[in-house]
Structure 1
Amino acid sequence: MSFYRKSIWLLKGLREYTRTGYEKASKKFTSSDLEVDCTGKVYLVTGANSGIGKVSAFNFAKRGGTVYLVCRNKERGEEAQRDIIEVTNNNNVHLRILDISNIKEVIKFAKEFCENNERLDVLVNNAGCMLQNFPKTEEGLDTNFATNTLGPFVLTHALLPCLKHSDHGRVIMVSSGGMLVQKLDAKNPQLDGLSKYDGTMVYAQNKRQQIVMTVHFAQQYPEIFFSSMHPGWADTPAVRSAMPDFHRRMKDNLRTDEQGADTVVWLGIADAALKQGNGLFFQDRVPVSTHLPFASTRNSDEEEQMFMDYLNNLSATLGFTVGLHKL
């Protein structure tokens, strides 16, 4: 990462990504956008046991939606499920156990979900990780890449049969402004062969990959509303565990979980969101650029297609052929 990118991004973050940044942006929100009855709607949120995922699921449930919490940890998932049901008095909150980094399990999960649910209205790809030391999955993938990129790629494709039955199917990718410091590495998406594995930068690369994926999804499936978003710098359990030094320095200025989840909820239920263009990247309910000025992070169409072909081919080796699951 260049010194320029890091410096410009940090200044932008201090101005926009903090709690103060949210409070300033929220003055322009239309409160009636979230006055929505979600009864009859079906929501699926990955990584829903805590933080932004849990708050998003809670907001869908309190408006009457049927919510599926997709969590890796059964104990914490059950605790989140109990909390949400108790506060919302909505018993249509269901728990499903899944490790998004296990692609074969993702395929199995999506198949079973579509067999048991005719429709899915909103998919929130929120689960993520930021691990160090080039950790590998059982399938031989970089765990960060599998969780943040390939897992959501396969899950989204595999749930298309359910999403197409919604009047206004929506897919939300919970990305990160950290991707602004990274240019897509189309030739080496898993960053193999690094002399030093930096989980923070790998995470940022994965989040850049999510942005590219979202744009291509929107182009392939215009019937569905695709979006990505940045929650800002929120004081979530994931931030506290993955970035302890950053949390210690910034904890008094970090957003709450609720502030971080606000745009997820807005994208998931507001009619105003559907009036925006498909495949855009949002921050505080507003579409924003996916590149810093003069940062040289743009890719050619050919490079982006190379990356998408890589995902298609890798998915096929693990048992999922994208072409068989198109609308």
Structure 2
Amino acid sequence: MSLYRNIVWFIKAMREFTRSGFENASKSFMEKDLDVSIDGRSFMITGANSGIGKATAMAIAKKGGIVHMVCRNKERANRAREEIVATSGNTEVYVHVLDLSETKNVWEFAEAFKKEHSFLNVLINNAGCMVNQREMNSDGLEKNFATNTLSVYILTKCLIPLLEKSRDPRVITVSSGGMLVQKLDTDDLQTERAQFDSTMVYAHNKRQQVVMTEVWAKAIPKIHFSVMHPGWADTPAVATAMPQFHQMMRDRLRTAEQGADTVVWLAVSHSANAFPSGLFFQDRRPVPAHLPLAWTHSSRQEVKVFMGRLETLAMAVKPTE
């Protein structure tokens, strides 16, 4: 069945995830969807200094939104901010330095942000990593899982009260089509038993993001949750983490702006908010989160166990007041 999944996925990917896939899908886009006023609305974007995150921040700044860039490297973040401000003419672009692989720091950042800001309309969980060797953070957690899954859980969980107080609140998580070949594995969240393959670890993390989004959508009706696949985009992160793939597919990769298109659409358009909460999107439309006959669905019990283990791990790294 794994071989079947991989074959079906590869055929789908070559047709849909590439630049030509975006160009074909964009023929049905409604330009008026992005012709909206977002003046005064506040957007937090993690990993906003390069790639899809930077393209998203630029697009939102151009439309007049308040942009909170959450980035690991202060120097690169400030350079990106200067470019965004110069291009957009919007000075309400703010840099926050945070390494999302350090889960304890995520708690501290989110709690401080809530005290300093009275509202947040949109949280965009964009930052991610693919560490090719099994490494641990200072809390003893595997870095890919800590960054891609647990920090998304902690940041979102902590900011939910702030979002709930705001007008038209939304949470968008940038996932990956790679998750289509993986089923939720509740017994080995940090790849302690399975052989470490960074590509598969990343895909597992991205499946975990989809499950989290589906759970939050049911539990928190005041906020519109969505998760999306940006397609295969030519970004510094892809070039660094997957150099062979990047070299082989370079001429077929989407631009960062094309990868960010659905993120921006989900963040600002009225059309996106008309869809039910909790869906998985690709190129401005909801798509199945599972391949046909792929056996990647999870039982209610598996989802309950997964969310319970996330909560336990999150509370274990929460700083004491």
Instruction: Please tell me the TM-score bracket, short chain as reference.
Output: over 0.9
Contact 1:179 1:205 in 2 (8 A): yes
SS of the residue corresponding to residue 171 of structure 2 reads strand
Instruction: Tell me which amino acid in the other structure corresponds to 1:30.
Output: M
Structure 1 gaps, min length 5: 322-327
For 1:325, the equivalent position in structure 2 comes to none
**1:154/1:320 CA distance change after superposition, 3 Å:** farther
1:148 maps to which residue? Answer: 148
Give the aligned partner of residue 92 of structure 2: 92
Match of 1:289 in 2: 288
Q: For residue 246 of structure 2, what is the aligned residue in structure 1?
A: 247
Q: Given that residues 187 and 306 in structure 1 are in contact (C-alpha distance below 8 angstroms), is that contact kept between their aligned partners in structure 2?
A: no
The residue number in structure 2 matching 1:222 is 221
- 2:174 aligns with 174
Map 1:121-200 to 2 at 5 A: 121-194=121-194, 196-200=195-199
Matched, 1:313 2:312: yes
CA shift digits 1:23-77 (9 cap, x unpaired): 1100111100001121100000000010000000111111111100000011111
| Distance (Å, rounded) in 2 between the aligned partners of 1:67 and 1:142 | 30
Inter-CA distance 134–75: structure 2 relative to 1 (3 Å threshold): same
Maintained 8 Å contact 1:42/1:122: yes
Structure-1 separation of matches of 2:296 and 2:207: 10
Normalising by structure 1, report the TM-score.
Answer: 0.96
TM-score (norm 2): 0.98
Q: Secondary structure at the match of 2:275?
A: coil
Aligned counterpart, 1:61 = 61
Question: Aligned AA for 1:23?
Answer: E
Residue 192 of structure 1: how far off its partner (Å): 1.0
- Aligned CA RMSD, in angstroms, stands at 1.1
Which position in structure 2 is the counterpart of 1:46? Answer: 46
Aligned-pair CA distance for 1:165: 1.6
Q: Is residue 163–residue 224 contact of structure 1 (8 Å, CA) maintained in 2? A: yes
- On the 8 A contact 2:108/2:319 being kept in 1, the answer is no
| DSSP-derived class of the 1:138 partner | coil
* DSSP-derived class of the 1:299 partner: coil
Work out the CA distance in 1 between the residues paired with 2:224 and 2:54: 22
> Residue 298 of structure 1 corresponds to which residue in structure 2?
297
SS in 2 for 1:183: coil
Percent sequence identity over aligned pairs? 52
Which residue pairs with 1:238 in the alignment?
Answer: 237
2:41·2:65 contact (CA, 8 Å) conserved in 1? yes
Secondary structure in 1 aligned to 2:166? coil
Write the distance in 2 (CA, Å) between the matches of 1:180 and 1:19: 20
Name the residue aligned to 1:77.
Answer: 77
Poorly superposed stretches of 4+, deviation over 4 Å: none
Q: Confirm or deny: 8 A CA contact 1:154 1:320 kept in the other structure.
A: no
How far did residue 320 of structure 1 move?
7.0
CA distance in 1, matches of 2:133, 2:123: 30
- How many residue pairs get aligned? The number is 320
The alpha-carbon deviation at position 316 of structure 1 amounts to 1.2
CA distance in 2 between counterparts of 1:146 and 1:200 reads 16
Q: Quick one: distance in 1 between partners of 2:104 and 2:242?
A: 30
Per-residue displacement from partner, 1:153-187 (whole Å, max 9, x unpaired)? 00001111210121110000000000001010012
CA distance, structure 2, for counterparts of residue 54 and residue 273 of structure 1: 21
Per the TM alignment, residue 193 of structure 1 is displaced from its structure 2 partner at its CA by 2.1
Structure 1, residues 2-27: CA drift from partner, whole Å, max 9, x if none? 22211111110000001110011001
Partner SS, residue 28 of structure 2: coil
Q: Which residue number corresponds to residue 110 of structure 1? A: 110
* 1:31 corresponding residue in structure 2: 31
Distance (Å, rounded) in 2 between the aligned partners of 1:108 and 1:190: 23
